[in-house]
Amino acid sequence: MRVGRLFKKRFFITIFFLFILDIYTKQLALQFLDQGISRDFLPFIDLYLTFNSGIAFGFLDLGEKSISNILTLYLLKLIKDEDDYRKQFSLSFICGGAIGNIADRFMDGYVTDFLYLKINDFSFFIFNFADASITIGAILLIYFEFFKKDHLNYEAN
């Protein structure tokens, strides 16, 4: 029983690490980037400082904080109750990113974005490490849910 609780705590450490990474990189962006000025970073990602008050890459600019807070609390409960470590890991990424963006919105009233995804002249979106964590967690969760099912469950049916 004690080992099980210790095992679950590592997912909360993951959340904390992703939160700190997100806040730290946002502070670096605020310190070293000028708003609206693009800087080359990687072949398909530029550094471009901007701010948004929406959620999920600027969508749903509602100015509402309670929805994201409730969803984050629900995610924490899912991590605590989940028995599959792969799903806990995925949910940890989603939760760590969500907490990073909530904290940023709480401090400033908006979210700091600075990673500009583009290929050639086609522009996709501007995001931050919290958004990347949420996206990676969601992709992993879908993958584990649909493609890594326990084969014993299928044999039992």
Q: Which of 22, 46, 104, 113 is catalytic?
A: 113
Q: What is the pLDDT of residue 7?
A: 54
Give 10-residue mean pLDDT values along the chain (157 residues).
58 93 97 93 93 61 61 81 87 92 86 92 89 95 82 45
Query: In whole angstroms, what is the distance from residue 103 CA to residue 34 CA?
Result: 22
Helix H or strand E encompassing 126: strand 122-127
What's residue 135's pLDDT? 95
> Are 112 and 128 a contacting pair, CB within 8 Å?
yes
Confirm whether 113 is a catalytic residue.
yes
Give the pLDDT confidence score for residue 56 in this predicted structure.
53
pLDDT at 155: 45
Per-residue confidence (pLDDT) for residue 149, from 0 to 100: 66
Q: Number of C-alpha atoms within 13 angstroms, CB side, residue 92?
A: 19
Which residue of the set 22, 83, 131, 150 is catalytic?
A: 131
pLDDT of residue 52: 86
The residue type of 2 is: R
- Please say whether the dihedral angle defined by the alpha carbons of residues 82, 86, 88 and 91, taken in this order, is positive or negative: negative
